[in-house]
Amino acid sequence: MFQIRIHGRGGQGVVTAAELLSVAAFAEGRHAQAFPSFGSERTGAPVVSFCRIDDREIRTREPVMVPDALIIQDVTLLHQVDLFSGLSSECYVLVNSSRSFEELGLGEFLKTFHPERLLTCPATEFAMEHLGRPLPNAALLGGFAALTHQVSLEALDRALRDRFEGVVGERNAAAAAATFRYVVEQKEESLHASPN
């Protein structure tokens, strides 16, 4: 089972992101479960959502305590919410920021993690470019797909177009594709830069 926890703020599509991820995984024949941190979502308030993906039936109903991947949609949460609760050094971490982990003050904390599983990406900038609105969720999902290979970009593209009709779906899909490409490029660059 692969478990994802998404942190953001009310209005940024945190709950929708988990749902879309589950729809994409489901479309690829996998079992998936998505649910929000229940109840008190308000615009601007910290919101958490969860998604589980597995090859067999998912029975558990507990919140994701030990995520395999963490997506942070809003870096202003870094010093307000316990974003890293239950994190192991095996976890993938994807943060919406144009700054590096070092610049965000997380370099030391993430020292023991696998560098190829860590990435910051300017998802809000991609969203502004393609959607014209600062909604980073679709873009981050594209990044997630490139980083973890848990869902394909194609499945994500279909999920976004099914969820948002017409031009909105196209723009969201474009934002996801742009981040996907960005993450693939970043991974290639770091591979070439690596001493091995």
| Interface residue list for another protein (CB under 8 A) | 18-19, 22-23, 26-27, 31-36, 38-40, 44-45, 58-63, 65, 80
Output 82 or 108, the one with its CB closest to another protein.
82
Residue whose CB is less far from another protein, 155 or 183: 155
Residue number, 17 or 93, with CB nearest to another protein = 17
CB half-sphere exposure, 45, CA atoms < 13 A = 9
* Cβ proximity to another protein, 22 vs 179, nearer residue: 22
CB of 79 to another protein, least distance (A): 9
Residues 6+ apart with CB under 8 A from 15: 36, 41, 47, 49
Q: How far is the CB of 93 from another protein (least distance, A)?
A: 22
Q: Cβ of residue 60: shortest distance to another protein, in angstroms?
A: 5
Which residue shows structure tokens 């029975």? 59
Tokens matching residue 165: 């009709």
| Eight-state DSSP code of residue 116 | G
**Residue 55 tokens, joined:** 């090859």
Under 8 Å between Cβ of 73 and 12: yes
Question: Residue 30 Cβ, how far from another protein at the closest point, in Å?
Answer: 10
Which CB sits closer to another protein, 7 or 130?
7
Residue 150: CB minimum distance to another protein, A: 15
